[in-house]
Structure 1
Amino acid sequence: MDASSPLTALPVLLLGTILLVIVIGITWAGMRIRMKAAGRARAAAGRAEDVDEEEDANGAIVSAVLGLLALLLGFTFALAVNRFETRRALVLEEANAIGTAYLQTQVLPQPHRERLSMLLISYTDNRVVLAQQETPESRRQRLADNDRIVNDIWAATLAGFDSIKHLDMSNALVSSVNAVIDMDTSRKAGRMTHVPEEVFWVLIVYVLVAAAIIGYIVRSRSNFHLACVMHVLIVMSLMLIIDIDRPAAGGIRESQYPMELLSASMHAQPRAAYDRWRTPVAPPPME
């Protein structure tokens, strides 16, 4: 969604409050218009049969309007949740890719081993913090750090590859690091994929039109209060969908637990622990 759009710029709670006030106001205006129309109808002394037929027609209209609204909300909710599940799956895939690259990095000789290992740790820590940033400024800074570390990781991989290119697993190391870089792009794309903004605008317009129809049918203050309760539930559902569709600023975000677990493991496990059963390589003979 466009960053300048109210659907993106405004906090979800404020956006929901504004929409709820407008919806209730439209319902109240519709009720007042209906009351005036009913007064004119009583003055015209309409028949009771006509009134009953009108009530039946109004009930059918309300059922159709609310049924279609529920269908639209359910369809939009499914789109938002599908994107949320995709982002959550990408977190686990990225954690696995980084973990594999980190383990394969341990076959490198020094200083390539330590350099690439530390870069992968820094990259993981930055990814965890990046997913928790609230302000656009902090996200831009973290994204810049992310891109810089990615470039450093690839440069360190190329430098380390020259020292093991005679080994069979040299290509596996390059492939694993390349998978990490691919996951970086995949997660960025996943966070930039939203439910089309036009869908939300159509939903909002539909909610406003439904509020006007319901307000026109409402006849008493008690029914108006019940209609307000229904509007609260509808607006809450719409705001929930919008919040899920805000991966960087919403309250509902994909869990970073796999990345946090990986970061803790890499920090706790020293690189020297992987050498405890390795046979030291003899230095080349002196000529």
Structure 2
Amino acid sequence: MIDAFAKWLEAAPTWQIGLVLLAAMFVASLFGEWLSGRTAKAKTKDGDDGGKEGYIVSATLGLLALLMGFTFSLAVDRFEARRLLVLEESNAIGTTYLRTQMLEPVDRARISKMLVDYTDNRIALAKAPIDQVPSLLARNDQMLTDLWTATLAAWPSIKGLDFSSAYLDSMNNMIDLDAARKAARLARVPSAVFFVLFVYVITSAGVLGYAGANKEGRGATAFLFILLTISLLLTLDIDRPRSGRITESQAPMERLKATLASQPPEVFDRLSTGKTPPPAAVPKLETAIPGR
């Protein structure tokens, strides 16, 4: 059952999930009201059971708030991890690009261009609809292979230099962050948590109906159900990194793209003349000798 629920939760649009949940809550509330009417004869005439029902409602809603807060915290933690990885990846690509400028001209031009294209593809991949993700992801993986191939081709010319290890570390770090971002997008709140939460929300609606919340004010009950549905949909949307409306900002990567566009490899050559300037002439100091 949980597997079928997980597939539906992943494939169904958010508005559809909200409508189904809201309808289920109203049905459960009406069922609770009907059940309360059937058991009315067992209630005491002085209304002592009403106080007990109030305690049950308070406990039920308190536990519901705890479960919803726990689920929301899980979703936000995963969202924050994805957001920080965007910043880390943009810094890693920028560092690799700057260190690439110390390579030989041919390798520098080739790898710099590949890094610019890789950045553009990463931004497009993060914003692409689900149907475009497979092609962009395949291009992303091919670009990483090409970048490492170009790094191996440039290695003989830098392996004797002091910065060679740092350059390999920056390239490896960039590749590792690609894997980290992929894993972060797959790290979701477990479907079993949402399943239990949905069941508990619907059960809570039935408890409210049984306690007479519908009789006291159907409008207030409906408003409460709408608020609960909105809260759950917000949590669900945050937990959908690809199809949700609330996604991690790509601003660090976009700023990196603008920086790379304004700093082509030629920019770093403006202070390089290719010749060693002659030493400055040192004026001769004449010392006066007494008597001469």
With normalisation by structure 2, the TM-score equals: 0.89
Given that 1:34 and 1:219 are in contact with CA atoms closer than 8 Å, whether structure 2 keeps it comes out as no
Q: Do 2:208 and 2:214's aligned partners in 1 also have CA atoms closer than 8 Å?
A: no
* Aligned counterpart, 2:105: 110
Gaps of 5+ in 2: 277-292
Q: In structure 1, what residue type is equivalent to 2:171?
A: V
Match of 1:72 among 54, 67, 70: 67
User: What is the SS of the residue equivalent to 1:108?
Assistant: coil
Q: Report the Cα offset of residue 48 of structure 1.
A: 3.1
State the shift of 1:222 in Å: 5.0
- Name the residue aligned to 2:29: 27
Change (3 A) 1:62 1:27: same
Q: Distance in 2 between matches of 1:253 and 1:220?
A: 38
Cα offset for 1:32?
Answer: 2.7
SS at match of 2:246: coil
Output aligned runs, 1:28-177, within 5 Å. Answer: 28-38=30-40, 41=41, 48-49=45-46, 52-135=47-130, 137-177=131-171
Aligned mates of 1:259, 1:194 — CA distance in 2? 23
1:269 aligns with 2:263: yes
Cα RMSD (Å)? 1.9
Whole-angstrom distance in 2 between the partners of 1:281 and 1:66 = 78
Counterpart contact for 2:90–2:256, Cα < 8 Å: yes
Residue 247 of structure 1: SS of its match in structure 2?
A: coil
Residues 118 and 140 in structure 2, CA contact (< 8 A), matched pair in contact too: yes
Determine the C-alpha separation between the residues in 2 that align with 1:2 and 1:88.
29
Indicate conservation of the 8 Å contact 2:213/2:221, yes or no. no
* CA pair 223-35 structure 1, distance change in 2 beyond 3 A: farther
Q: Is this contact kept in 1: 2:103–2:158, CA < 8 A?
A: yes
Measured in 2, the distance between the counterparts of 1:163 and 1:70 equals: 62
1:192 corresponds to 2:186:
yes
Aligned to 1:85, the other structure's residue is in SS state helix
Match of 1:241 among 229, 235, 242: 235
Alpha-carbon separation, structure 1, partners of 2:213 and 2:88: 56
> Aligned letter for 1:139?
V
Equivalent in the alignment of 1:7:
9
Identity, % of aligned positions: 45
> How much has 1:220 moved relative to structure 2?
4.9
1:20–1:235 contact (8 Å) kept in structure 2: yes
Question: Aligned to 1:229, what secondary structure does the other structure show?
Answer: helix
Measure how far apart 1:155 and its partner are.
Answer: 0.5
CA contact (8 A) 1:161 1:174 kept: no
Task: For residues 232-253 of structure 1, give each alpha carbon's deviation from its aligned partner in whole angstroms, at most 9, with x where no partner exists.
Answer: 1111111111111111111110
Q: Which runs of 4+ in 1 moved over 4 A?
A: 1-4, 219-222
- Aligned-partner Cα distance in 2 for 1:23–1:133: 35
Cα distance in 2, alignment partners of residues 98 and 172 from structure 1: 13
Q: Measured at CA, do residues 255 and 142 of structure 1 come closer, stay the same or move farther in structure 2, by a change above 3 Å? A: same
Look up the match of 1:285. Answer: none
Q: Which one has a bigger Cα radius of gyration?
A: 2
Q: Secondary structure at the match of 2:104?
A: coil
Cα shift at 1:182: 0.7
Consecutive unaligned residues in structure 1, runs of 5 or more: 283-287
Letter matched to residue 244 of structure 1: I
- Going from structure 1 to structure 2, the CA distance change for 1:248 and 1:219 (only over 3 Å counts) comes to closer
Quote the Cα distance in structure 2 between the aligned partners of 1:221 and 1:47.
Answer: 19
**Retained in 2: the 8 A contact 1:119–1:149?**
yes
Task: Quote the Cα distance in structure 2 between the aligned partners of 1:259 and 1:107.
Answer: 23
1:105-130 Cα deviation digits (max 9, x unpaired): 01111221111011111111111111
Matched AA of 1:48: K
Q: Give distance in 1, aligned partners of 2:153 and 2:275.
A: 20
Aligned to 1:5, the other structure's residue is in SS state helix
Q: 1: distance between equivalents of 2:259 and 2:237?
A: 32
